[in-house]
Amino acid sequence: MSVTTPLRVSARLPAGRDPFFDNAKFLAITLVVSGHLVEDLREVPAVHAAYFYVYLFHMPLFIVLSGYLSRNFTFSSGKARRLISALAVPYVIFELVYALPRLVLYGKLDISLLDPYYLTWFLMSLFLWRLSTPVWQQLRWPLAVAVALSLLSGTSRLPDELSMNRTLGLLPFYVLGLMLRPEHFEWLGQRRVRIAGAVTLAAGAVVALVVHARVKTEWIRWRHANDAIGVDDLTGSLVRLALLASGALLVAAFLAVTPSRRTWYSGLGMATMYAYLLHGLVVKVAERFYGDWAATLPGAAAVAACGVGLAALLCTGPVRRMTRWAVEPGTSWAFTRLRRPA
């Protein structure tokens, strides 16, 4: 069955594919793109509050879904090759691609494959999380261990290499995804839970509006140790624990209100990695041309709305065909032929 997007691009879902997860991924990527587009407009209080609110759960949502969809990962040759072609190779390509705007706009050329730049941290972290999947599936209390590692990571200034602060700090969301089962999502689809999810999202927005000015932005970026943000380890651990809990709650609420039926954007949700990796190039250029009109609530709202359109555009077929070489590069030539079991 095909569905047509407002961009008049046909998007076809493979038979048997659950549209719920594609819907969730597309809605999440619109938050990511819009959030990055308004990042330089946070002097507007309402925009800062919205930015703070969205950053509490938009990447945790992607990470939970990534964990759930990685439950069957093993070190078998086929899946290991997919890991390299889907994450490692695009990571190298986009580290180089994102070095070019820095060179043109700022006259700075700085390439370090071990120190992810801008959006590429997610590829690096997801690569490491997925490699660790078999380990978490052997532990008796995997989520407790992951939370402990997340809290401990805030007590030390970890190196930027391998995006260690984010990789360990956000690890519990990946492990949470690994622990989820189809029946958990069926429970979220119950009418009473959906209503509770909508109320929770609304309440979260109100709380964000009240507290956003009192919470340092670095907390929601998961990039620094406690002392670098200016607090002791006990306070920092409590803040991190609260962020993990609120992030998990908002992720559950968001998934509860996500449509489970096929929608016009279900097909686009299959290609969210395109929107994720490509939108940063647009953001870096757009930021250079923001005028005074953008630094207002109506202006920022217009920019955020453009983010929704941009996310949809970058998931369409023509864009995918033009950029597949970078986002989903063909790497079969680099591997030996798979041996079929006797």
Asked whether the beta carbons of 263 and 20 are under 8 A apart, the reply is no
Listed residue (295, 248, 256) closest to 60, CA to CA = 248
pLDDT in tens, 216-248: 999 999 999 999 999 999 999 999 999 999 999
Asked whether the beta carbons of 219 and 229 are under 8 A apart, the reply is yes
Residue 239 lies in a domain: yes
Residue 17 lies in a domain: yes
pLDDT in tens, 310-322: 999 999 999 999 9
pLDDT in tens, 181-208: 999 999 999 999 999 999 999 999 999 9
More confident residue, 199 or 334: 199
Determine the pLDDT at residue 100.
Answer: 79
Helix ranges, the chain (H): 19-37, 45-55, 58-68, 77-83, 89-106, 121-131, 133-136, 142-153, 164-169, 171-179, 182-188, 191-211, 226-229, 233-257, 272-286, 297-314, 317-327
Determine the pLDDT at residue 113.
Answer: 79
Residue 337 lies in a domain: no
Residue 60 lies in a domain: yes
Residue ranges making up the domain that contains 150: 2-323
Residue 332 lies in a domain: no
Q: Which residues are registered as beta bridge partners of 2?
A: 12
What's the chain's average pLDDT?
A: 89
Determine the pLDDT at residue 2.
Answer: 34
The pLDDT of 24-41, averaged and rounded, is: 95
Number of domains in the chain: 1
Asked whether the beta carbons of 98 and 120 are under 8 A apart, the reply is yes
Determine the pLDDT at residue 3.
Answer: 36
pLDDT in tens, 153-182: 999 888 878 889 999 999 999 999 999 999
Residue 267 lies in a domain: yes
Residue 43 lies in a domain: yes
Helix (H, G, I), strand (E, B) or coil at 116: coil
CA distance 5 to 267: 9
